[in-house]
Amino acid sequence: MYIHKSVLLEEAIKELNIKEDGIYVDATLGGGGHSKEILKRIPKGHLYCFDQDDYAIGRAKEVLDEVGNNYTIIKSNFVNLKEELQKLNVDKIDGILYDLGVSSFQFDIPERGFSYNYDAPLDMRMNQNQELDARYIVNNYSFNDLVNIFYRYGEDNFSKQIARKIEEYRKTKQIETTFELVDIIKSALPQKVLKTKGHPAKQIFQALRIAVNDELRVFEVSINDALDMLNTNGRAVVITFHSLEDRICKTVFKERSTVNIPKGVPIQNIGEAPYELITRHPIESGEEELKENNRAHSAKMRVLRKR
């Protein structure tokens, strides 16, 4: 049995400011930890949950059924959030939660190919029905495309060297497994880098996962649609786990909570922006959670309210 621990659980529930008859969305159902706590607080409301992973949906359903039946699981990428909710005649919501990244059990199930800690087929698909996987990218993408992925999504300073090693390796043999890729990455790095703290493949695996699942574009589209759907006093709570996600969230929230005044235009009755930024600085995990859950170390939470 694979265990999923929800990060910033208490903080997220508090910041959603849940009302018992509200309509809420968990855009990233995962193991159902956040959804369960939302469901407990809306006996007269309804919860809509998004996930595209069959295993996650099955696990989460068991968790939610313990609380109630006033929820709907939508098997779809959250980029389709607006379209899927409108199919169910839902045009406005009182709150939405994003817990981005990969669920604990996706990392911990070796055959999913997300982790550099297990030897498994290269995969990294959150949606097991899509065709594009990490194996296809490393074996078929050009040197320049690999460099762009590694540098843009992994911010790895050795992107060119690693891409070149991959290019050389695949001339004689297809790259099939996570450990094969780890060995190739290590062979491209100088000894001083290999001796530093942290796994040498972490950034490249992150970059491939983001590319396989188109994570950044999908999040930016989805969060903008979600903000458009918020009712008055509705809140969007976003938990991110790396700087690229956080940068998108920070930028979108700032744009929505700022009134732009063109230079040279006299200021008269400018009014307020339609959204209020609740978190000037991101909320992070406390000491107790950091001790219990290693994945909480990189978590940042931002909150926006519709005025």
For the record, the structure tokens of 266 come out as 């006299």
Unique residue bearing structure tokens 């843009």:
152
Contact 11, 84 (CB under 8 A): no
Domains of the chain: which residue ranges? Answer: 9-99+215-306, 110-213
304, 256 contact by CB (below 8 A): yes
Domain formed by 110-213, architecture: Orthogonal Bundle (1.10)
Q: How many angstroms separate the CA atoms of 144 and 129, rounded?
A: 28
Would the pTM of this model clear 0.85, i.e. be above it?
A: yes
What pLDDT is attached to residue 292? 87
The domains spanning 9-99+215-306 and 110-213 adopt the same CATH topology: no
Per-residue model confidence (pLDDT) at position 260: 72
Distance CA 99, CA 239 (A): 5
One digit per residue, pLDDT tens: the chain, 307 residues? 455 678 999 999 999 999 999 999 999 999 899 999 999 999 999 999 999 988 889 999 999 999 999 999 999 999 999 999 999 999 999 999 999 977 665 666 767 767 888 899 999 998 889 999 999 999 999 999 999 999 999 999 999 999 999 999 999 999 999 999 999 999 999 999 898 878 999 999 999 999 999 999 999 999 999 999 999 999 999 999 999 999 999 999 999 999 876 565 565 556 789 999 999 999 999 999 998 887 788 999 999 999 9
Q: How many residues make up the chain in this entry?
A: 307
Predicted confidence at residue 1, as pLDDT, reads 46
Chosen CATH of 9-99+215-306 out of 2.40.160.40, 2.40.50.140, 3.40.50.150, 3.30.43.10: 3.40.50.150
Contact 122/110 with Cβ under 8 angstroms? no
* 178-188 helix and 202-213 helix, angle to the nearest 10 degrees: 130
Q: Tell me how far apart the alpha carbons of residues 302 and 278 are, in angstroms, rounded to a whole number.
A: 8
Find out whether 161 and 188 touch, Cβ atoms under 8 Å: yes
